Structure 1
């Protein structure tokens, strides 16, 4: 378990947090009564509400703020689409197998796990403090071969550290060499593993009763957006740049899913495809709004040197220095940072890591991951990729669909170029069945080649063109069939294929990382866990607590509950016989940020106490004022400190 602390500086007790999350039904293993299936989880009521609130904030922060075009694309995708995009051939991870037990490992994770275990053992042998692994029961069952602390040679330990720093840059052959060189075995049995092989991560299916149309469950939401590009451009009145957005489920057949919600086979994604003119230097008109946002960057040069030091700089400095390639890429890195902070992620536990060359997706020109530090280590939660014009180009080439932008030039463009004219009446009879092939080869000639051939035509009266598949691969064309001249062409319109900047959010990973960041325990009461969600994100906003079961309290509680619902504020009533302190403590575990106590004073003068979850401080005022304060907190317009300044403090309640 990676070293991590809560917001109060306490060491994070992950088993305690996991127990809370499952006990309070934030999430639970799917099909558990049948033994469960690894990598599949169900969300319970608070988990559903938390996810919905994160998505709602995401929509406001991106779709609304950036005026994006939201679409909802189908999850079933024909084989041909994903073959064209490259996913059928290239969307894979490296896996290796223990031939004796049949156990499957993801190769990079296996190398990582074994080397980290050896480094931990080395620290123990040197008497250094080591974080205790929270999965004690699992460790008892998992009988590893190396149980004694083993001291490593300093040079070997340094090698391990450097390998771990760039683990994502290794391909299958390199991982195989590491496994051999460092004698990496099955951690459970000590048995040998076979060399890594590629495993495609997509779930394959068939579409229709005849099963003639092969398909997949989509591994990302992007392809549907690319294929509707032309319609979206038309909807946007041909205006560039613009962005589409899609929120929906994606599927990846993970090799060995572990780590709870962080590595699952079915997950919610929120993806943006921002289309930009490549000739404009990928500028962004609102870059000036974020240029002073300070972010932590881990670029590929640092990683390749075997280090993981993060450099903090403004995104303006990062773009100016070339660390981040363009304004648009930098703009979205900053906006991603601001979104994660807005929902409650600790900015001190966040970094942006640049992909290394071997790690880069087949479609990416550059990519930065927003990584969040958790007890599982640094977790990729958002990928911000420059996909260049890859997707639109390959789909257009395959289908013939014009996935491009055509715009009228402000001034006509005069272009001097070498043009080739063929005498079609003579050309056909001369080359017969090979005519179209030869013509295509001529049309494909570059400007430099056309210029050279024009000289040859003038001097010899003929040209020679490379035409694979026709004769010996070279075809001669006489001057009575062809004319090559330099002419001026006037273009009134410009046609280009946009480049795409793609921020892709893994909502489940963000949700779990957030849970770790907002979790802490009351001082002196480790069993009293608290989830400090920001009010806009919290699953339930307000707890209504009548002092007792007295009949006079019921109409007040009912009226408050109805009024809050009308304001769109989720609330729940706890009228159990437990003390007020215990009732509040139960809801601190659910992350409920605010509580209203209804007491006998409320019956007399219609005033109520409002409690803050984190500080347990209370203020008191009339019904309308309390509801207005709650609304301002839930909408993020005010903080509890603002409310405390405006309303009188109340100090007489809350006992266990």
Structure 2
């Protein structure tokens, strides 16, 4: 629960106030709003688009450019066969339960979580503890769990609830149904009985082509396109391993009951990396030493299964060494993810990495950690980092026969002693007729241990018996006239292997919203109007240009400043309205604009301008060149405001707030 959420200045966080600001200032708005809207679909306005684009730009620089990744842009339409092979058709599902009387649908794990949290809140109220209210979207009140009356629970029940909530992601459908029955969880709005949870596939189904004879889906992730292009990317990379591909694009999931604004939507922007690594040698990473001392807040699966949620601050080097994090490459990306989150402005006190428990692990994952950010909705997964082993390349290679593997010369030839089978095909065909290929395939697939045993049978009895379930009684005799099994030495000069994959997967919309919560606060003198303290690197607009008045002498300077900022690639807005300078700055503090330039009568005299810092409201004054240089360094992240304030003269001759 996130009842203790506070803003940057330590005040209680007001979600309703922030979401009102974001909609009013057009960071985002419900899609198709004038038609009543569609749950889980949102449009981004100008500041939302700019904030998103800036985060993506930093992501590209931090990962794609830094790691020399190969970026691809793959289609969103995906044929049925691809997602059937990958396992998504059968396994990409959440558990839903239905009220048979009203037809309402609930996501089972979320319903259990909300009801138990609400009961714990009622317990706290009964004990006289202060509990902060969670504001919800008024359009979704019918879906909200009703406030539970202040009822004191037994200590043992409180402990049970807390343990269940700690491992809520680990329950399967049957277990969720048992929890609902045990704790009498019903439709919160009507108190009606609910049907047991059933699996609901989250993919949007469609058809490709005018005759609708090619079934398909809107992709639920960008990963499959990267896997299917692996051989081409390996060739582009001159057969060099390891390497990573990257993709940024829309994905789609038909959420059961989308709530929580931008955090749970049906169409969203993803940024995914597929790092292909040799499975031999422990999945080492060449640059792991650079990040080994990065400290992460780790919540491992054993702690969660014990019903606890406490984290341990651990250097990633130690976590890998002790086996808590499976390998160096996985650990490397966890550290790099942490550095990225800090770079875009996430609050370091509201970041943790949670390890997946067994039941919640994706069907392809060998190990997985989520980077979670604390919001007023609780801890929200914003980045997943999974070790997908060789699953995806293996299943697609098996299905299609495409060589999704690496072939590389061995430094030293490898001598392999093995039992080899020779079949006399001239006699084999006439003997087994139509079953010949099936029997031959069964023999070729025999393990080395079985081949050794059968070689003894062949020598002793003059025949072997092979299990072939689809032929006759399931047992097939092969006489020694048709087959030979001998131990031989084979020299292997080329090594073939299927790479393993480490996949960091970023939900950009969730990062946008979490960053807004982490950046939001209000000044003591104007609590009704918020401030978004985005770092200059990600802020939608970097500079506000404010002429002191509409005086004609100021207009040429407005144009000069705008052109100068455009020339160095800095976005700016002009506010020459009749409002006071203080109000104009306050309006743009809501948009997160970090810097402001004031044009006053002294500017007309000596061509100097004041530069204002959003958070401190402090100002400096200098020439156009020096002001632009300061802005450039702040936006590029090479300097902080304190560096600029130490270098340029302070300006205190005019109170603009």
TM-score w.r.t. structure 1 length? Answer: 0.99
> 5+ unaligned residues in a row in structure 1: which ranges?
none
- Equivalent residue for 1:110? 111
**Match of 1:514?**
515
Structure 1 residues 142, 86: closer, same or farther in 2, change over 3 A? closer
| Match in the other structure for 2:314 | 313
Tell me what 2:486 maps to: 485
Is the 1:143–1:189 contact (alpha carbons within 8 Å) kept by the matching residues of 2?
A: no
Q: 1:144 to 1:73 in 2, by over 3 A?
A: closer
**Partners of 1:136 and 1:511 in 2: CA distance:** 18
Q: How far off its partner does 1:244 sit? A: 0.2
**Matched residue, 1:170:** 171
Q: From the superposition, tell whether residues 471 and 139 of structure 1 become closer, same or farther in structure 2 (CA, over 3 Å).
A: closer
Work out the CA distance in 1 between the residues paired with 2:604 and 2:525: 36
Report SS of the residue matched to 1:489.
strand
What's the CA shift string for 1:118-159, capped at 9, x where partnerless? 111111111111112334967987897775311111111111
User: Is the 8 Å Cα contact of residues 144 and 190 (structure 1) preserved in structure 2?
Assistant: no
Matched with 1:354 is: 355
Which residue does 2:235 correspond to in 1?
234
CA contact (8 A) 2:334 2:385 kept: yes
Alignment deviations for residues 578-616 of structure 1 (CA, whole Å, 9 cap, x no partner): 111111111100000001111111111111111000000
Q: Alpha-carbon deviation of 1:538?
A: 0.4
Aligned to 1:457: 458
- On the 8 A contact 2:536/2:542 being kept in 1, the answer is yes
Are the counterparts in 2 of residues 145 and 190 from structure 1 also a CA contact under 8 Å? no
Tell me, in whole angstroms, the C-alpha distance in 2 between the residues paired with 1:457 and 1:147: 76
Q: 2:96: which partner in 1?
A: 95
Indicate the residue corresponding to 2:436 in structure 1: 435
Match of 2:245 in 1: 244
Secondary structure at 1:278's aligned position in 2? Answer: coil
How many residue pairs match? The answer is 656
CA shift at 1:524, angstroms? 2.9
- Aligned counterpart, 1:504: 505
Residue matched to 1:301: 302
| CA distances 1:408-430 after superposition (whole Å, capped 9, x unpaired) | 11111100001010111111111
Does 1:653 find its partner at 2:654?
Answer: yes
Maintained 8 Å contact 2:134/2:376: no
Contact between 1:145 and 1:189, CA under 8 Å: does it hold in 2? no
Matched, 1:470 2:471: yes
- Give the SS at the match of 2:552: coil
CA distance in 2, matches of 1:7, 1:316: 31
Q: 1:183 to 1:284 in 2, by over 3 A?
A: same
User: In 2, distance between residues paired with 1:139 and 1:328?
Assistant: 42
Name the CA distance, whole Å, in 1 between partners of 2:587 and 2:83.
48
Inter-partner Cα distance in structure 2 for 1:605 and 1:405: 67
Q: What is the rounded CA distance, in whole Å, between the counterparts of 2:14 and 2:655 in structure 1?
A: 27
Match runs of 1:219-618 below 5 Å: 219-618=220-619
The answer on 1:207 being equivalent to 2:174 is: no
Cα-Cα RMSD: 1.3
1:317–1:140 Cα change, 3 Å? closer
Equivalents in 2 of 1:494, 1:413: separation in Å? 9
CA distance in 2, matches of 1:517, 1:200: 33
Instruction: Give 1:476 deviation, angstroms.
Output: 1.1
What residue ranges of structure 2 are gaps of 5+ in the alignment? Answer: none
Provide the C-alpha distance between the structure 2 equivalents of 1:543 and 1:619, rounded to a whole number of angstroms. Answer: 15
- TM-score, normalization: structure 2? 0.98
SS in 2 for 1:596: strand
The 10-residue stretch of structure 1 (174-183 or 149-158) with the greater mean CA deviation from structure 2: 149-158
SS of residue paired to 1:280: coil
* Kept after mapping to 1: 8 A contact 2:3/2:131: no
Distance 1:146 1:511, change over 3 A: closer
Query: Deviations 1:191-250 (Å, cap 9, x if unpaired)?
Result: 111000000000000000000000000000000000000000000000000000000000
User: Once the 2 structures are TM-superposed, how far is the Cα of residue 515 of structure 1 from its aligned partner?
Assistant: 0.1
Deviation at 1:467, TM superposition (A): 1.1
Distance 2:114 2:88 in 1: 28
Give runs of aligned pairs for residues 67-86 of structure 1, distance below 5 A: 67-86=68-87
User: Aligned ranges for residues 48-197 of structure 1 at < 5 Å?
Assistant: 48-135=49-136, 147-197=148-198
Q: Deviations over 1:70-89 (max 9, x none)?
A: 00000000000000000000
Contact 1:332–1:503 (Cα < 8 Å) also in 2 = yes
| Secondary structure of 1:583 counterpart | helix
CA distance in 2 between partners of 1:142 and 1:525 (Å): 34
Q: Residues of 2 paired with 1:136 and 1:428: CA distance?
A: 72
Q: For 1:136 and 1:31, how far apart are their aligned partners in 2?
A: 17
Indicate conservation of the 8 Å contact 2:119/2:148, yes or no.
Answer: no
CA gap of 1:277–1:181, structure 2 versus 1, over 3 A, is same
**Is the Cα contact below 8 Å between 1:539 and 1:590 reproduced in 2?**
yes
Task: Give the Cα–Cα distance (whole angstroms) in 2 for the partners of residues 81 and 16 of structure 1.
Answer: 44
User: 1:333-360 deviations in whole A, cap 9, x for unaligned?
Assistant: 0000000000000011010000000000
Contact kept in structure 1, 2:118 and 2:145, CA below 8 Å: no
Please list the CA deviations of residues 381-410 of structure 1 after superposition, one character each: whole Å capped at 9, or x if unmatched: 000000000000000000010100000111
Shift of 1:463: 1.1
**Counterparts of 2:101 and 2:536 in 1: how far apart (Å)?**
53
Structure 1 pair 136–103 and aligned structure 2 pair: CA distance change class (3 A): closer
How far did 1:464 drift?
Answer: 1.1
In 2, the alpha carbon distance for the partners of 1:144 and 1:561 equals: 51
For the residue of structure 1 that corresponds to 2:280, the secondary structure is helix
d(CA) in 2 for partners of 1:145 and 1:574?
45
1:23-34 correspondence to structure 2 within 5 Å: 23-34=24-35
1:24 and 1:590 in contact (8 A); partners too: yes
Whether contact under 8 Å (2:76, 2:218) holds in the other structure is: yes
Correspondence 1:638 to 2:639: yes
Q: Give, in whole Å, the separation in 2 of the partners of 1:528 and 1:263.
A: 27
SS at match of 1:560: helix
| Contact 1:144 1:189 survives alignment (8 Å) | no
* Distance in 1 of aligned mates of 2:479 and 2:145: 78
Q: Does 1:620 align with 2:626?
A: no
| Cα separation, partners in 2 of 1:117 and 1:334, compared to 1, 3 Å | same
